[in-house]
Amino acid sequence: MKRIEKYLMTLQRSKLWIFSFFILNYFSFSLFGDTITVSLSFPRQKLKIQEVEWKGKQVVKLRIEWSSPKFYRHYTIEPCKPAIPYLKFYVAIPFGNEITNVQVILKDSTIIPLKYIIEPARYPRPLRITKPGEPPPFVPETVLDSTIYASNRPYPGVFVKVGHKSSIYEYERVAFFIYPIQYLPAMNTLIFYTEVQVKITHEAKKNVNLRKEPPPKDIFLYKEDYLKRLNSLKRNVVNPDDVHIPPKRINFFFNPEEIPYAIITEESFVWPWEELRVWRRKRGLYDTLVTLQWIRNTYPGTTVESIRGFIMDFHSRFNTRYFLLGGDNFVIPTQWEVYELQGEVYPTPSDYYYADYDDDWQCEVYVGRAPIQSTEEIENFCEKVLKYEKNPPKNNYSLEMLFFAFDLDNVTFGEVVKENIYTLYVPSWLNVTKVYDSQDGNHREDVIDELNAGKNLSNHIGHGNRENMGVGWFNHGWLLTIPDINALNNGDKQTVLYSISCECAHFPQEECIGEVFVENTHGGGTAFMGFTGEAWYSPGNLEDYAFEFDRRFWKRLFLNITTY
C-alpha cells in the first residue's frame, strides 16, 4: 500500500495529475480558445469485480455499470493484455477548429487490491458455424503478455485519448476516450479514479482542407436534412448548447425538384415497382426509378463505380437520401471489400460502399437492398411492404418485440447484451418476449413459435452462417435453417429482424437466411439486417466488435441518437 501511495504522490508532484497534450498538426497560435469542461463521477459501487475462470486459473473480470445515453462502454482489446473498461464520449466543435489541449484533472481515487490478476483480452473470433469437414477460422492462442503483467507501470497508462473526427455541416464531432481505471500489474492493484474532470480546448486552425469546407454563407440547404442532422448531433454530444443554427448563416428553401427516394433496378423490372411508388408519393415521398442501363450510360467507371457516382450526384443535386437497390447481386452488383485479420483473408460483400461514398466511415445516404431476381419476387416484396405500412393487424402486434440471444461460448452470453439494450433503450410500452439459453425448454421450437405468433421487431444474437441461424447452437446444437425460415407462417404480422451472426445476410451467392426471410410469401418479415460476412467478437467482452453494432442500432431507433 505504501508503494501505491508513493506512486500517487509522485504522480501529483510530477504534474501528471494534470495530463496535457498538444496536437501539432495545424496548430494555431491564437490567443483565444474555447474550453469545454466535462465532469464525471463514478461511484465505487458501479465498478464490479467478478471472479471467473480462464485456462483453469482464477482471474477477475472488471465492469463499469455506469451508463448514460451520451457515454459508451468499451474494453481495451489488445490481445494478451489486461482487459480494462473505459468510456467514450463525443464533443462538438466549430468546423475549422482543432483540439489544441486536453487536461484531465483527477480529483478523487480509491485503491483496490485484487485477489487475482485481471483477465486478458482475447483474440477476436467470428460467430460462424462451420460446416462438416470445414476447418474453423484460425484464432491465435491467448497467452499473458509478461512484459505487461510483470510491470510496475500503470496500464493502460493514459487517462484520455482523442479519437476519430467527422464533419456535420458547420460542426465537427470529436470522439474522446476516458480511462478512469489504471492497473498496477506487479502489485495486482487497481487505482479507480472516481472523480474526473476533462477540460478540452479548441482553437481555429490556420489551414483548412478546402474539400471539407463548411457551406458558404449564400448556399441553399435543405431545411429538413439540415435540422435533422444538427438535432441528432445535439443529442449525441456532451456539449449540446454549443450546437446551434446561426440564423444569418444559412438560407433554406424548398426545391420543387427534390427527390428524397430513388429505386435502382434492371430495365425489365421497372413496372412491378409502380404500386409501391404510388403509395410512396401518397405519403409525400416523391421518388424516381432509374435503370442500371441508364446509370451505366450516364456515369463513368465500372458498374459499381457508376452506381456510386449516380448516388453521389443525386444526393448532391436533388437531396436524395434513400436508395433502394432493386435486385440481387446478379442484377445490381455489390462491392467486395477484402480485409485481413490474424493471418486470414476475408472477402466481404458490402453495400456500405454506396452509402459511405466519400470513404470517411460516415454514411452520407441510406441504402437498402431488395434481393429479388424476378418480377414475381418484386410483386411479393412490394405486397409485404404495402401490407406492413398500409394495413397492419389491428391488434397489439405493433407493440410486440422478441429478443432471442444465446451463449457464444462458456464466457460470452448473448442475453447479457440484450438485457443491457432492454434496460437502456427499449421503451416501457413495448411488450418484450425473451428466449435465452438460461431458460428451460427447446429454444429452437420457442423461437419458431414466437415468430409465427407475430412480432413487429426482433433481435438475435447467436452463431450462424449463410444457411443457418444459431438458436442455442453452442450448448444444444439447435439451428434455424433455410427451410425453417421459409416455413414461417406469421402471415401479415411481419417482423423487422436485426441479427448478430455470421453471414446470415450473405446475399451474393445463392440464397441466405436473410433473403429467404424477406422473400417468404406467407410469413417472415419485411426487413432483415445482418452481416454479409464475418461478425466478430472477443470472448468475455460484451461491449465491442459486433455487439457495438447491435447497441447502436437500437439506440438510434429508440432514442434517435446517431453514432458513427
Cα–Cα distance for residue pair 380/432, rounded to 1 Å? 29
Identify whether residues 174 and 290 lie together within a single domain.
no
Given this model, what pLDDT does residue 362 score? 80
Top-confidence residue, 109 or 215? 109
Identify whether residues 20 and 169 lie together within a single domain.
yes
Cβ atoms of 564 and 361 closer than 8 Å: yes
Q: Indicate the angle between helix axes 414-424 and 546-559, nearest 10 degrees.
A: 20
Identify whether residues 398 and 359 lie together within a single domain.
no
Given this model, what pLDDT does residue 395 score? 83
The three-class DSSP label of residue 157 is: coil
Cβ atoms of 226 and 194 closer than 8 Å: no
Instruction: Classify the C-alpha dihedral 119-116-16-201 as positive or negative.
Output: positive
Least confident interval from 148-152, 261-265, 509-513: 509-513
Nearest to residue 201, comparing CAs of 93, 41, 105, 106?
93
Can you tell me the mean pLDDT for 259-283? Answer: 92
What's the number of CA atoms in the CB half-sphere (13 Å) around residue 557?
Answer: 17
Identify whether residues 438 and 527 lie together within a single domain.
yes
| Residue 523 belongs to domain spanning | 394-559
Can you tell me the mean pLDDT for 153-178? Answer: 90
Assigned domain for 256 exists? no
Cα–Cα distance for residue pair 184/493, rounded to 1 Å? 55
Given this model, what pLDDT does residue 250 score? 47
Cα–Cα distance for residue pair 539/429, rounded to 1 Å? 33
The 10s digit of each residue's pLDDT in 52-100 is 999 999 999 999 887 677 888 899 999 999 999 999 999 999 988 999 9
Identify whether residues 193 and 334 lie together within a single domain.
no
On the question of pLDDT at 116 being above 60, the answer is: yes
Identify whether residues 190 and 272 lie together within a single domain.
no
Cα–Cα distance for residue pair 307/299, rounded to 1 Å? 8
What's the number of CA atoms in the CB half-sphere (13 Å) around residue 154?
Answer: 19
Identify whether residues 265 and 143 lie together within a single domain.
no
Given this model, what pLDDT does residue 346 score? 86
Cα–Cα distance for residue pair 15/20, rounded to 1 Å? 10
Identify whether residues 197 and 294 lie together within a single domain.
no
Dig out the grid coordinates for 253 from the structure.
428553401
Assigned domain for 246 exists? no
Instruction: Classify the C-alpha dihedral 235-236-242-246 as positive or negative.
Output: negative
Least confident interval from 2-16, 168-182, 518-532, 539-553: 2-16
Given this model, what pLDDT does residue 419 score? 95
Kindly state the percentage of the chain with pLDDT values over 90: 65
438 burial level (CB within 10 Å; 0-12, 13-18, 19+) = exposed
Nearest to residue 104, comparing CAs of 10, 178, 182?
178
Assigned domain for 380 exists? no
Cα–Cα distance for residue pair 221/254, rounded to 1 Å? 9
Given this model, what pLDDT does residue 214 score? 45
Given this model, what pLDDT does residue 344 score? 78
Confidence class for position 436, pLDDT limits 50, 70, 90? very high
Identify whether residues 448 and 532 lie together within a single domain.
yes
Cβ atoms of 200 and 38 closer than 8 Å: yes
The 10s digit of each residue's pLDDT in 362-385 is 888 999 999 999 999 999 999 999
Given this model, what pLDDT does residue 18 score? 34
Identify whether residues 278 and 361 lie together within a single domain.
yes
Assigned domain for 225 exists? no
Element housing 309 (H / E): helix 303-318
DSSP string covering 313-361, please? Answer: HHHHHH---EEEEES-TTTSPPEEEEEEETTEEEEEEETHHHHSTTSSS
Identify whether residues 358 and 434 lie together within a single domain.
no
On the question of pLDDT at 508 being above 60, the answer is: yes
Assigned domain for 102 exists? yes
Strand arrangement of the beta sheet that strand 431-436 belongs to: 431-436, 400-405, 457-461, 495-500, 525-529
What's the number of CA atoms in the CB half-sphere (13 Å) around residue 530?
Answer: 35
On the question of pLDDT at 211 being above 60, the answer is: no
Cβ atoms of 541 and 77 closer than 8 Å: yes
pTM of the model: 0.83
β strands within 114-260, DSSP E? 125-126, 160-168, 171-178, 181-184, 189-204, 220-221, 251-252
Assigned domain for 111 exists? yes
Neighbours of 538 (CB within 10 A): 22
Backbone φ and ψ for 269, nearest 5 degrees, come out as -105, 15
Backbone φ and ψ for 320, nearest 5 degrees, come out as -70, 120
Instruction: Return the CATH number at 60.
Output: 2.60.40.3800
Say if strands 72-75 and 400-405 run parallel, antiparallel, or are unpaired: unpaired
Assigned domain for 389 exists? no
Q: Where are the alpha helices (DSSP H) in 56-145?
A: none
Given this model, what pLDDT does residue 6 score? 57
What's the number of CA atoms in the CB half-sphere (13 Å) around residue 276?
Answer: 25
The three-class DSSP label of residue 503 is: coil
The number of domains in the chain is 3
Instruction: Return the CATH number at 290.
Output: 3.40.50.10390
Instruction: Return the CATH number at 403.
Output: 3.40.50.1460
- Give the chain's count of helices (H) and strands (E): 14, 29
367, 402, 433 - which closes a domain: 367
Given this model, what pLDDT does residue 217 score? 38
Cβ atoms of 93 and 179 closer than 8 Å: no
306, 332, 367 - which closes a domain: 367
Identify whether residues 270 and 202 lie together within a single domain.
no
Backbone φ and ψ for 414, nearest 5 degrees, come out as -60, -30
Assigned domain for 385 exists? no
The 10s digit of each residue's pLDDT in 222-251 is 566 677 778 888 888 999 999 986 554 444
